[in-house]
Chain A
Amino acid sequence: MTALLSVKGLTASYGDGQVLSGVDFEVQRGGVTVLLGANGAGKTTTLRALCGMVRRSGDIVLDGAPIQNLSTEGVVRLGVAHVPDGRGTFAQLTVDENLQLGSITRRDRRGIGEDVERCFTYFPVLKERRGQQAGTLSGGEQQMLAVARALMLRPKLMLLDEPSFGLAPMIVKQIFAIFRTLSESTSVSMLIVEQNAALALELADHAYLLETGRVVFSGRPDDIRNDPTLRRSYLGY
């Protein structure tokens, strides 16, 4: 496998406070990489930095092209779909409109129609709610909508910030099953930030541990499972 995304020396700051101090990592083409770390370690900030949502510096290379100087919309237009924490759906707009917005940069009408139907087969409840304002959906339904909205871009790379947050275990399973299907049946690559480390590691081919803005470990999921200290801190057993 070759790297789709390669990040070197990434720093990011809010105002005066530097939150990331030189983060290096890669996401393999078609692979699933997971980013673990305690609260406040800088996981969300890392994803935001990739999309230019915070001030950042360092080298970010996507598909061979440097993207560290692009605007958020520029990065998205290269096929990076970010499902942010807090979901980022358009609360006043309908489910259908949210899905259309996910594909707003695309021109292939037919493909868009097919992708809407595909999202509805992944998340049938969205079809029932298609005319409803997104803000009136339950938290779980909104998370499904956020994932569906991201899929509508036909992304190369998905950035998923705690996709299981606030969801019932059943729904979490369902969403992760969909990630697995996507990763096995399409060429999409994923970078997942997750508190539910056990679940995320099942899907991942590579994991990074982030501590106060630094990568402190990089390895395969099994390396974490087999290391007693790491297992205790991140998997809790």
Chain B
Amino acid sequence: MELLLQQILSGLATGTIYACMALAVVMIYQAIGHLNFAQGEMATFSTFVAWQLLAWGVPYWAAFVLTIALSFVAGVLIERVVFRPLHGAPALSHIVVFIALLAIFNNGAGFIWDFTIKSFPSPFGQTTMFGSMLNAHQAGMIVCTLVMLVLLYLFFSRTRLGLAMRAAAANPESARLVGIRVGWMIALGWGLASAIGAVAGMLIAPIIFLEPNMMLGVLLYGFAGAVLGGLTSPVGAVVGGLVVGVVENLAGTYVPVVGSELKLTIALSLIILVLIFKPSGLFGRAVAKRV
């Protein structure tokens, strides 16, 4: 029983990271209707930036906040420079550019900081808590993500800018007719997604070590979470990410054949199963295709 509870809790802790990645993916999907395959590499690159700031002696939380800000700006710039010209281009063009971005960030990180793994500090430490159910870093991950989600919720539900972003995603043409600069709302969505990814990267790095391919598996779980929750629902993405984290952990522990090797297979199978049986996900709306 205790083992079960512990597995669920630590699954939730990693689940928060999947939830962040799922949310980042959904945010861009809502804005432009495509899945950003480079989301993981962008997050990794952000984490390297944080690592560099720490190496230069910047205090942890200052580096944390600065990295989030830089990632936000970079996300906005990527949209303005790379994706704005692609507006309305077919899916394949987007996929090619996503893959190019992925390669650029991956190789860029490797080129600047090389491919050897680096340890990344935790501001929370590793002491165990709650009768050894969780360690401090895992608890910190959960708290940080919760704070971020609450802030995002308040932003989208209480501010006029948040409302404008929702309107632009829901109905771009009507949004223009009330004077919303839809292009900038999309860019802001990229900025937010990029910032959320940076948080996820910095929180997971102390556990899985920093290297250019760090987020590859994580992004797959994030996709699984996003698809499970429904690509049209930010809340669904968060719930989906958490569920994937727990399922992954429980399967690894209780299903002997799964072990740690087959965990990724579980994520991929989950994506395929959801797409076959409930394409709109648990929380999503089925969207009629616009023509």
Contact = CB atoms under 8 A, between A and B. Distances in A.
A73 B180 CA distance: 6
B89 interface: no
A88 B177 contact: yes
Contacts of B171: 88, 90-91
B124 to A, nearest CB: 38
Interface stretch (B107-115, B161-169, B194-202, B238-246): B161-169
A149 B177 CA distance: 10
Interface string A86-105: 00111111000100111011
Nearest to A84: B177
Contacts, number: 59
B182 A73 contact: yes
Contacts of A102: 178
Q: Could you say which of A73, A84, A93 has the most chain B C-beta atoms within 10 Å of its C-beta?
A: A73
B170 A101 contact: no
B170 A149 contact: no
B160 interface: yes
Contact of B173 (A53, A93, A105): A53
A156 interface: no
B164 A101 contact: yes
Contacts of A232: none
A71 B170 contact: no
Interface in B141-184: 160, 163-164, 166-167, 170-171, 173-182
B48 to A, nearest CB: 37
A93 B166 contact: yes
Contacts of B164: 101, 104
B275 to A, nearest CB: 23
Contacts of B166: 93
B167 A73 contact: no
B110 to A, nearest CB: 41
B interface bracket (residues with beta carbon within 8 Å of A): 10 to 19
A138 to B, nearest CB: 19
Given A90-B170, A90-B171, A97-B163, A104 B177 contact: no
Contacts of A153: 178-179
A100 B159 CA distance: 11
B119 to A, nearest CB: 45
Contacts of B176: 53, 71-73, 76
A105 B163 contact: no
A92 B176 CA distance: 17
Contact of B178 (A71, A91, A101): A101
Contacts of B180: 73, 101, 104-105
Contacts of B179: 73, 76-77, 104-105, 153
Contacts of B182: 73
Nearest to B181: A73
Interface in B37-56: none
Nearest to B164: A104
A71 B171 CA distance: 17
Interface string A61-74: 00000000001110
A104 B174 CA distance: 12
A51 interface: yes
Contacts of A53: 173, 176
Contacts of A88: 171, 173-174, 177
B39 to A, nearest CB: 25
Interface of A: 51, 53, 71-73, 76-77, 82, 84, 88-93, 97, 100-102, 104-105, 149, 153
9 contacts: A73-B179, A82-B177, A84-B177, A93-B163, A100-B160, A101-B164, A104-B160, A104-B167, A104-B180
Given A73-B182, A89-B174, A97-B163, 16 more contacts: A73-B176, A73-B181, A76-B177, A76-B178, A82-B177, A88-B171, A90-B170, A93-B166, A93-B167, A101-B163, A101-B178, A101-B180, A104-B179, A105-B178, A105-B179, A149-B178
